[in-house]
Amino acid sequence: MTGDEPFIAAVKPLVDAMGGEMLPPDEAGPEDVVLAWEGVDVVAVRLPQLADSLDHILAAMERRQGRPLADLDRKAKQELVRSLEARGAFAVRHGVETVAGALGVSRFTVYNYLNREKGS
């Protein structure tokens, strides 16, 4: 698997954004996704565990903000919690705790942000 193949170069940003790992198709395990191009297996993608995905999403959000998520104002944190809820972040075990830690707030505050959205 060489990084200069056009197909691999095309899918790499997506795999990276998901926190996945690319490997040769012959090293694919039963849970990996093998991608084919023009009938030939080109690359296998190992998807992250859900909890790892949440950490990866939070890190990407922090990079986009250009500062720690804990430094955001309350309104921005509420919007971030809504965005994460839409992406299913709170279906992950310990999702509320993970997000609360990243935002520098308590679990209770995250639940308040979630309940506020449901009440409006």
| Domain assignments of the chain as residue spans, ordered by start | 1-44, 50-114
| pLDDT tens string 34-47 | 999 888 999 999 98
**3-state SS string over 39-70?**
CEEEEEEECCCHHHHHHHHHHHHHHHHCCCHH
pLDDT of residue 120: 53
Angle at which helices 95-103 and 107-119 cross, to 10°: 100
| pLDDT of residue 2 exceeding 60 | no
The sheet with strand 40-46 has its strands ordered as: 21-23, 40-46, 33-37
> Are the beta carbons of 81 and 61 closer than 8 angstroms?
no
Look at 87 and 21; give whichever has higher pLDDT: 21
pLDDT of residue 119: 57
**Is residue 55 very low, low, confident or very high in pLDDT (cuts 50, 70, 90)?**
confident
**Is residue 51 very low, low, confident or very high in pLDDT (cuts 50, 70, 90)?**
low
| pLDDT tens string 71-99 | 999 999 999 999 999 888 888 889 999 99
pLDDT of residue 1: 46
Instruction: Tally the C-alpha atoms within 13 A of residue 100's C-alpha that lie toward its C-beta.
Output: 15
> Are the beta carbons of 33 and 45 closer than 8 angstroms?
yes
